Chain A
Amino acid sequence: GENVEQHPSTLSVQEGDSAVIKCTYSDSASNYFPWYKQELGKRPQLIIDIRSNVGEKKDQRIAVTLNKTAKHFSLHITETQPEDSAVYFCAASSGSNYQLIWGAGTKLIIKP
């Protein structure tokens, strides 16, 4: 079955710098890759997603890139702000059962 690995587990960056979180997946049939942000004590919220027919997608300061050959995808946050501090989860699913397989999460700390 699918397995998703996420790195790093903790990432500390200076406010204003960029942050990159990387995930790898094992199932070549996976075709949907969302990213979720979870602030302390709150629900996970979808921030961006990408499908396998696209290599990159941007939404303001957030972008996701996908390399299907290497089976990895990354979240890029530019010009980080204090409100970006949260745990970020990547996930992957194939069309066969629509079940998301989750990464273990990355705690992003933005230093003022």
Chain B
Amino acid sequence: DAGVIQSPRHEVTEMGQEVTLRCKPISGHDYLFWYRQTMMRGLELLIYFNNNVPIDDSGMPEDRFSAKMPNASFSTLKIQPSEPRDSAVYFCASSFQGYGYTFGSGTRLTVV
């Protein structure tokens, strides 16, 4: 198994642009999580899905953030419009029944 696959690994964009982060979870995992990590705020849960259905999006900072999971093997996190304070490392993680989260390599987002 290739693990959780995220793309792109690095993204540099200008303020106001749309950013789309992608994630392919481990096959057979039924939970998918999107996290954001910064030095100041640590690991923050943004949203999670169970069997492709969003369960809790209370961590999404504002309406500029949206996430979808159209099928069991793909999820996106979109920021529109992006702002410098969105700069962070975004991790996707998947798990089976909530145990043993496996994280992707992350996307380092820089908004200038």
List residues of chain A with CB under 8 Å of any chain B CB.
32, 34, 36, 42-46, 49, 89, 93, 95, 97-100, 102, 104-105
Shortest C-beta distance, B110 to chain A (Å), equals 14
- 13 other A-B residue contacts (CB within 8 Å) besides A100-B98, A105-B43: A32-B98, A32-B99, A43-B91, A44-B91, A46-B101, A89-B43, A95-B98, A98-B98, A99-B45, A99-B56, A100-B45, A100-B101, A102-B42
Q: Does B25 contact A (CB under 8 A)?
A: no
Q: Does B102 contact A (CB under 8 A)?
A: yes
Give the residues in chain A near B98, CB-CB below 8 Å.
32, 93, 95, 97-100
> Nearest residue in A to B6 (C-beta to C-beta)?
A43
The binding surface of chain B is classed by DSSP as: strand
Given known A-B contacts A97-B55, A104-B42, A49 and B103 have beta carbons under 8 A apart? no
1/0 per residue, CB under 8 A from A, across B74-101: the answer is 0000000000000000010001011111
Please classify how large the interface on chain B is, using the bins under 10, 10 to 19, 20 to 34, 35 or more: 20 to 34
List residues of chain B with CB under 8 Å of any chain A CB.
31, 42-43, 45, 48, 50, 55-56, 91, 95, 97-106
Q: List 17 A-B contacts (CB under 8 A).
A: A32-B99, A34-B99, A43-B91, A43-B104, A43-B105, A43-B106, A44-B91, A46-B102, A49-B99, A49-B100, A97-B55, A97-B56, A98-B50, A98-B95, A100-B45, A102-B43, A105-B42
Shortest C-beta distance, A69 to chain B (Å), equals 23
Shortest C-beta distance, A103 to chain B (Å), equals 9
How far apart sit A103 and B104, CA to CA, in the bound complex (Å)? 20
> Nearest residue in A to B55 (C-beta to C-beta)?
A97
